[in-house]
Amino acid sequence: MDRNKLGKWLQSPGKMGQKYSLHALYFCTGCGIIEIPPTITARWDAERFGVIPVATPRQANLFLITGYVSVKTLRPIIRSYEQMPEPKFTVGFGSCPINGGMYWDSYNTIKHLDKYIPIDGWIAGCMPRPEAVFVAVTHLWTLIDKGMADGYKKYREDYHYYRENQEKILGKLEWPPLFSSKKM
């Protein structure tokens, strides 16, 4: 943890600020709501890493999607993601957002979440232990340092790809395209 190195703060304050102040928006629609409260309260205090939960997407820059994503919850996930200010980082928690997990043959579950919004990192497991959140956070720091956590840039560049996938599964979306990106 290089939080106390003043030289780095003077060199790139924006990057260091984004690293050590991750305001997390937890999207606990499926499972995973049991694992999140211990991480943010007294047992595994996430606040010492600068991670605190916020109640609204406007204030958040870390989006944590825990558990399976059903077709119905995909719409609020997309809207919340688009409301977050850039730079924003997304982490899929649990094996269900990765490839469907135990719902691999369900008719009503999204199998690959990264087709619909860009994901910067995954935490595998069913369910992962709360410590895994901290492994993910420290790994995310490395990615931010190297400039590799650029999901929000990808969303800007390849918006037509994500929008196409979203419309394929949700039908017509009621909001206009966010970015005017050229077709392939």
- Residue 22 CB-density burial (10 A; 0-12 exposed, 13-18 middle, 19+ buried): buried
Q: Which is nearer to other proteins, 56 or 99 (CB)?
A: 56
By the 8 A CB rule, do 86 and 154 touch? no
For residues 137 and 117, what is the distance between their CA atoms, to the nearest angstrom?
A: 19
Cβ(80)–Cβ(57) under 8 Å? yes
Query: Nearest approach, Cβ of 15 to other proteins (angstroms)?
Result: 8
The tokens describing 169, both together, are 């599964």
Asked whether position 182 contacts other proteins by CB under 8 A, the answer is: no
* Closer residue to other proteins, CB minimum distance, 53 or 125: 53
- By CB under 8 A, residue 38 contacts other proteins: no
CB of 53 to other proteins, least distance (A): 8
User: Where does this chain bind other proteins (CB under 8 A)?
Assistant: 3, 13-14, 16-18, 20-21, 23, 41-42, 45, 47-48, 50, 52-56, 58-59, 61, 83-87
